[in-house]
Amino acid sequence: MAVIKTSYIQGKSQGKINDNLEYYTSKIQEASKSESKLIVLPELFLWDYFPITENKKHFDLAISIDSKEVKHFQNLSKKLKVNLVLPIFEKSIEGFFFNTALTLNESGEIVSHYRKMHIPYDPGFYEKFYFTPGDKSFLVADTSIGKLGVLICFDQWFPEAARIMTLGGVQLITYPTAIGWDEKESDFSRQALREDQLNAWITIMRAHAIANGIYVMAVNRVGKEGHLKFWGNSFLCDPFGKVLVKSGTEEDIQTCEIDFSKIEETRKVWTFLRDRRIDSYEPILKN
């Protein structure tokens, strides 16, 4: 399938897991009316962004992949006949928790179970307190609409992850995200830095699209939670890095057609993959 409709949901947390489940169920149903074949949700979409603090009580929020919440979205995916990227706070065996994204196909089956590989630890983003680094490497889901890959938020900054997925045949990488500004830092110099941070965030992912000749979708949340204000600005870009659709800082659903045949067309012009010097890249494994 060369041309498909894809959608992302730039949402705002409703505060509680059940409220978020209802909210995103409604948004998914709305997006499906556009005949989209793929719908992508933000990172940790069922929760407030709890890593804003370190609190062991938050471990009680985690769910397993056979939980009623996951089954709900599996049934919804099957009912609507859509592929769904479902980012969750996953409880594995006792004491092991992951920042996870499941990819569901049109039958509601889990076709990819990715666990976030790069875990940040910054003020307001205390993820190392909660999440074990991913142990499933970089996965490519072979679906009826194409080869899909999921990386999560902080993974955005690492070109190696996007390249490995590209070598695995991925055509579209989606980045469920929860990123924003610290509202406690409000002086003018910080305001200018905020714009630089946002532009860098967009630029790095457009660069992944260009360097690898693939489509890239970033799906952020919006709203203020504690002292973090999530900046939204979700977008989808093509293999030339051209932004096809983009959101602002409010709740939004965007749907866009993408043409996977453009990947081959692009790579005939920009032969970055052909001209790699893998015989000379060994130092990257040593430093």
Active site residues: 43, 116, 153
Please count the other Cβ atoms lying within 10 Å of the Cβ belonging to residue 67. Answer: 13
* CA–CA distance, 151 with 118 (Å, rounded to integer): 9
Q: Would you give the DSSP letter of residue 132?
A: P
Task: Give yes or no for a contact between 153 and 173, defined as CB atoms under 8 angstroms apart.
Answer: no
Three-state DSSP at 231 gives: strand
Task: Give yes or no for a contact between 208 and 162, defined as CB atoms under 8 angstroms apart.
Answer: yes
* CA–CA distance, 242 with 38 (Å, rounded to integer): 20
* CA–CA distance, 212 with 208 (Å, rounded to integer): 6
Q: Would you give the DSSP letter of residue 17?
A: H
**Over the range 226-237, which residues count as b (16 or more CB within 10 Å of their CB) and which as e?**
eebbbbbbbbbb
The dihedrals phi and psi of 195, each to the nearest 5 degrees, come to -65, -40
> Angle, to 10 degrees, between the axis of helix 188-212 and the axis of helix 159-167?
20
* CA–CA distance, 92 with 28 (Å, rounded to integer): 27
